[in-house]
């Protein structure tokens, strides 16, 4: 997947986890938790959805890489290079 496709996939996941949030104003460099009403369980849901939808494993010690949209896309780009967007 290209970085733009990964960003779109993350927005889709966030939309499922936080359906009442306005994701159109998401800023790439601002942490998700500063922009959205996400708690620890929501964050784990993001990790689980990445695993379920795209078979991407994110070790617990690397969760901080999923802090913002920019860091998430940067982290996932090499992991999802062979994933086909659906």
Whole-angstrom Cα distance, residue 21 to residue 52?
Answer: 22
How does the average pLDDT of the chain come out, rounded?
93
Token pair recorded at residue 64: 């901080």
pLDDT in tens, 62-81: 999 999 999 999 999 999 98
How much is the pTM? 0.90
Q: Which CATH architecture has domain 3-79?
A: Orthogonal Bundle (1.10)
List C-alpha distances in Å: 52 to 4, 47, 57, 79. Answer: 20, 9, 9, 14
pLDDT, tens digit, for every residue of 37-54? 899 899 999 999 999 999
- Ordered by start, the domain boundaries in the chain are 3-79
Secondary structure of 19-34 as H, E, C letters: CCCCHHHCCCCCCHHH
Inform me whether the pLDDT recorded for 8 exceeds 90. Answer: yes
């Amino acid at each position: 997947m290209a970085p733009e496709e990964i960003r779109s996939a993350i927005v889709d996941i966030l939309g499922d986890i936080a359906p009442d949030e306005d994701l159109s104003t998401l800023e790439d460099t601002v942490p998700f938790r500063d922009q959205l009403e996400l708690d620890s369980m929501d964050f784990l849901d993001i990790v689980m959805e990445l695993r379920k939808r795209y078979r991407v494993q994110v070790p617990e010690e690397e969760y901080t890489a999923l802090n913002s949209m920019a860091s998430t896309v940067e982290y996932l780009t090499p992991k999802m290079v062979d994933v086909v967007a659906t």
